Structure 1
Amino acid sequence: MNIHYRNDPPQFDGANLQMHFVAEVDGEPLDCSITAEALEDHFGAPSALEAPLREAFERGQARIHAVCSRVIEQTGGAVVLHSGRFRAPDSVDIKH
């Protein structure tokens, strides 16, 4: 499975308090997102407002993409990263 991430900035979803980003899996786009709670808990966002969430996403982008790739490899589908996905060291133990 070939996974890479577009350089596009994430899109803020205020209704669901998520930041959406696109992974390309074997050349096909796949919508992925991370919750505001995860960005607050693990990447230092001080609030669920758009600007702090964007800054936190940028700071944690490498880890967010790494965890997202592991979940895609396990599920093959769209991903919503909740806070619990980041609790284990390097998120090695991902459970559904």
Structure 2
Amino acid sequence: MSTDNTVEAALGALRQAISGLENAVDMRFEAERENAEVESEVKRVHADRARLAQELDQAEFRANRLEEVNREVSRRLVTAMETIRAVLDR
């Protein structure tokens, strides 16, 4: 093999190696970008979950309070009906 052929072969191998390295770097950057996007989405999901949990707690509190008020109103209605019956029965 002549010196020119050997140099050309070495340059071709070098070009291939550099191209492979560039591709590997590009793939690594893309993987990093995708990881960052996933991490960002996970943070958004956690924030949504926390917000929804807080809203659920508030809704449960309101439902419990409405239940208490409903029982009190029911008790007062029964008392009022008994009072009306007692007055009518006289």
Pair member with larger Rg = 2
Q: Which has the higher contact order (CA 8 A, sep 6+)?
A: 1
**TM-score normalised by length of structure 1:** 0.18
Q: Which has the higher strand share?
A: 1
**TM-score normalised by length of structure 2:** 0.20
